[in-house]
Amino acid sequence: MLHVASGRPQFPAVGPLADALKEFGSVKIVEQAKTLSDGQVLDLMREADVLITMWGSRPIPPALAQNPGKVRYILNLTGTCRGYIPIEIIRSGIPVTNWGDAPAHAVAEGAAALLLTVLKDLRKRTEKVAGGEWGGASKWEMPSGTLRGLRVGLYGCGVIGSRFIQLLTPFEPKWFIYDPYAAELPGNCEVVDSLESLVEQSEALVIWAGLTDETRGSLSAKLLAKLPNHGIVINAARGDIIDQDALFAELKSGRLRAGLDVLSNGDSIPPGHEARTWPNLILTCHDVNSARWPQRPPRLGEADKVALDNLRRFMEGKPLRFRMDERRYLLST
């Protein structure tokens, strides 16, 4: 069996995942595949039983859907498939899987940290101490709160949102959810029928929706204005779901607070931008799920384990986990 990792030079030729893949058959890593023509890359792909894709992969030409050659399965090592696996592949019936729930705990934990940090005004507190203050009257000016009884609204509730609820339920917030696409929702939450209703009932709003034409810019200035004074916005999903100019206006005025792991415009703001200085804003640069310490010997990550489990299932003719259909493909970002 031949596996082709298409187009990401940094895919490791050695290491736990590379070693584990070799147990399933021969592995061919196609480096710099983006320099190849469609015809050249199709010839290489059609020799493989399994294609492996990931961030930065050479986009699969749509023509593979009509003539897949030996390809019987496409294993995507990351979350979204859009950008390098065309929808024609999904519609062709060639099975495609992604990492499923692998990142759920790390991202949910990061968002939980953001919520608690903003809720307790930790940035403002540490800045005041660094500036020479210690307690005093200024501490009474901070709208520091507790999760117990806090009205927390989730815009979207897939596997990461569900894990977020699981992690924070012991703190006893009151949960509200708006997600018209979720097949199952946690039982300890109140489901609302519109985004407007969700915002109106929330003191802290946490975004877990996927980025689609429907959700892009959906958290508008009009809706942000419905959050209470000192209300909180947490976003570890996709920055373009929020009208960022409207949110920044609210933050600049001091009316709202936010913890943002993601932003629009490529998840960054330029050096010197005033938002970097606002004490009511925490920015974590799309890295809040990182776990680089303590350092340990190289080992398989959660996404690697999902990938290897699906390869075994494929080899044994068992149902694949986290298989993409058209609806899931369009919602995954």
Q: Which range is least confidently modeled, 36-45, 138-147, 152-161, 320-329? A: 138-147
Is it the case that residue 195 has pLDDT exceeding 80? yes
The size of the chain, in residues, is: 333
* CB neighbour list of residue 203: distance below 8 Å, 6 or more residues apart: 150, 151, 152, 227, 228, 231, 232
Is it the case that residue 255 has pLDDT exceeding 70? yes
Q: Band the pLDDT of 8: cuts 50, 70, 90.
A: very low
Is it the case that residue 328 has pLDDT exceeding 90? no
* Domains of the chain: residue spans and CATH: 2-102+297-331 (3.40.50.720), 104-283 (3.40.50.720)
What was the pLDDT predicted at 14? 61
More confident residue, 272 or 27: 272
DSSP element (H, E) containing 27: strand 26-30
Is it the case that residue 12 has pLDDT exceeding 70? no
Mean of all residue pLDDT scores within the chain: 92
Query: 223-251 pLDDT, tens per residue?
Result: 999 999 999 999 999 999 999 999 999 99
Query: 204-223 pLDDT, tens per residue?
Result: 999 999 999 999 999 999 99
The highest-confidence range among 86-90, 127-131, 137-141, by mean pLDDT, is 86-90
Estimate the crossing angle of helix 122-130 against helix 104-119, to 10 degrees. Answer: 60
If you ran DSSP here, which 8-state letter would residue 9 be given? T
Mean pLDDT for the stretch of residues 50-73: 93
What was the pLDDT predicted at 1? 44
What was the pLDDT predicted at 2? 45
Is it the case that residue 189 has pLDDT exceeding 70? yes
Is it the case that residue 301 has pLDDT exceeding 60? yes
Mean pLDDT for the stretch of residues 45-67: 93
Distances (CA, A) of 280 to 115, 136, 232, 283: 12, 20, 9, 10
Mean pLDDT for the stretch of residues 89-107: 96
In DSSP terms, 53 is beta-bridged to 76
More confident residue, 26 or 232: 232
- DSSP per-residue codes, 267-318: H---TT-GGGG-TTEEE-TT-TT----S-------HHHHHHHHHHHHHHHTP
